[in-house]
């Protein structure tokens, strides 16, 4: 015999006489079935123990995620806000020029016709490129470049956009005038 079997035999020998071999009291089975029926098949092994920690841990997890989300998304400043902190004048200039450009683009879109659509599309592409250059200038300003030079380039960028829009509007008016003149000459 192995030593494990000898240990088990010794354990049973030492515990002999201490095993509970008595029959349960009379009516035990009926009381057990009655409790089982009352709980509709759900038997709680320890009815006094409450699992209050599970809902609490879920609530704590949600609170942690909300806090992290607010911390990550709530305190992130945009490039425009950072530029405004460095140079409030640049922010005001940006607001003024951006509104002016937006108004001119709306005017340009209103003048759209089959004859002018390609000119307008080209202008919008050029405006997008200038906007990307402006964004790069903002990043350069935030990275600590020469602020006077960069602010001057930012203003020049806006002025270039406005000049482009004015030039396109002049071309559209010229196209409309030529079309109107041609239409008058061809009428009977």
**CB within 8 Å of 129: residues ≥ 6 apart:** none
106: left (phi over 0), alpha (psi -120 to 50) or beta: alpha
Tens-digit pLDDT profile for residues 127-146: 999 999 988 988 888 888 77
Q: Structural domain of residue 94, as residue ranges?
A: 79-186
Tens-digit pLDDT profile for residues 161-179: 989 999 999 998 898 888 7
39 occurs within a structural domain: no
165 occurs within a structural domain: yes
26 occurs within a structural domain: no
The total number of structural domains in the chain stands at: 1
**CB within 8 Å of 172: residues ≥ 6 apart:** 108, 111, 116, 119, 120
54 occurs within a structural domain: no
58 occurs within a structural domain: no
**CB within 8 Å of 16: residues ≥ 6 apart:** none
Residue 7 is encoded by which pair of tokens?
């240990």
The stretches in the chain having pLDDT less than 50 are 47
């Amino acid at each position: 015999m192995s030593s494990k079997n000898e240990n088990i035999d010794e354990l049973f020998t030492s515990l002999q006489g201490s095993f509970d071999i008595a029959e349960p009291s009379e009516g035990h089975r009926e009381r057990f079935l009655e409790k089982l029926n009352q709980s509709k098949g759900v038997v709680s092994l320890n009815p006094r123990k409450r699992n209050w920690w599970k809902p609490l841990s879920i609530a704590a997890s949600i609170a942690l995620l909300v806090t992290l989300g607010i911390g990550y998304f709530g305190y992130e400043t945009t490039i425009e806000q950072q530029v405004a902190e460095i140079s409030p004048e640049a922010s005001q200039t940006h607001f003024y020029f951006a509104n002016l450009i937006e108004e001119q683009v709306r005017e340009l879109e209103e003048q759209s016709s089959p004859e002018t659509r390609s000119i307008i599309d080209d202008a919008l592409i050029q405006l997008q490129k200038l906007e990307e250059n402006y964004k790069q200038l903002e990043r350069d300003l935030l990275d600590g470049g020469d602020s006077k030079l960069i602010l001057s380039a930012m203003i020049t960028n806006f002025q270039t956009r406005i000049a482009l829009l004015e030039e396109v509007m002049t071309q559209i008016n010229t196209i409309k005038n030529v079309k109107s003149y041609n239409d008058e000459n061809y009428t009977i």
